[in-house]
C-alpha cells in the first residue's frame, strides 16, 4: 500500500487535468446556450478557412510533396528541441557532448542536402 501512495500526486494531476479540460469544453457550450449565442444559420455554417466551397471530394488524396514538407518540418522542429537543452548544458557535459551534437547536426545537414537535391523542398 505504501508503494501505491507515491503515485497519488500523479493521480491528482490527471484528475485535475481531466476536470479542467472537460470544463474548458463544456462551459463555453453551456454559456452559449444560456446567453442565446447558439443560433446556427447558413452564414455561420459556411466555409471559413479558405472562403469558398471545396472543389473536390474531401476524401481525395494530397500530393506526396505536402507530406514530405510536413515530415521535414517535424524533423527540423525536433532538431531545435534537442539543441536547446544541449546548448544550456554543453559546458557542463564536456567535449563528448559537443562532438555528439556535431555528429547529430552533420547527419541532419546531410538529410537536408539530400532532400534539397531530390526536390522535396520545391513547391509549385
Residue 83: closest CA among 96, 97, 69: 97
* 41 domain residue, yes or no: yes
Could you tell me the CA-to-CA distances from 59 to 48, 54, 87, 110 in Å, in that order?
19, 11, 44, 35
> Per the domain annotation, does 123 fall within a domain?
no
Per-residue pLDDT tens over the stretch 16-41: 999 999 999 999 999 988 888 777 77
Residue 124 lies in a domain: no
Number of structural domains (the chain) is 1
Which CATH number belongs to the domain containing residue 88 in this structure? 1.20.58
pLDDT in tens, 87-108: 888 888 889 989 998 998 898 8
CB 86 within 8 A of CB 122: no
Check: pTM over 0.85? Answer yes or no. Answer: no
> Does residue 78 fall inside a structural domain?
yes
Return the H-helix or E-strand segment holding 63: none
Residue 25 lies in a domain: yes
**In this structure, is residue 102 part of a structural domain?**
yes
Q: Which domain holds residue 107?
A: 2-118
Amino acid at each position: 500500500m505504501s508503494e501505491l501512495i507515491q503515485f497519488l500526486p500523479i493521480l491528482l494531476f490527471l484528475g485535475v487535468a481531466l476536470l479542467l479540460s472537460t470544463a474548458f469544453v463544456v462551459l463555453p457550450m453551456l454559456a452559449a446556450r444560456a446567453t442565446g449565442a447558439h443560433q446556427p444559420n447558413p452564414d455561420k455554417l459556411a466555409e471559413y478557412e479558405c472562403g469558398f466551397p471545396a472543389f473536390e471530394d474531401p476524401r481525395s488524396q494530397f500530393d506526396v510533396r505536402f507530406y514530405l514538407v510536413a515530415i521535414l518540418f517535424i524533423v527540423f522542429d525536433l532538431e531545435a528541441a534537442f539543441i536547446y537543452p544541449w546548448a544550456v548544458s554543453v559546458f557542463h557535459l564536456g567535449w563528448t557532448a559537443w562532438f555528439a551534437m556535431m555528429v547529430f547536426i552533420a547527419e541532419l545537414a546531410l538529410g537536408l542536402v539530400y532532400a534539397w537535391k531530390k526536390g522535396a523542398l520545391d513547391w509549385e
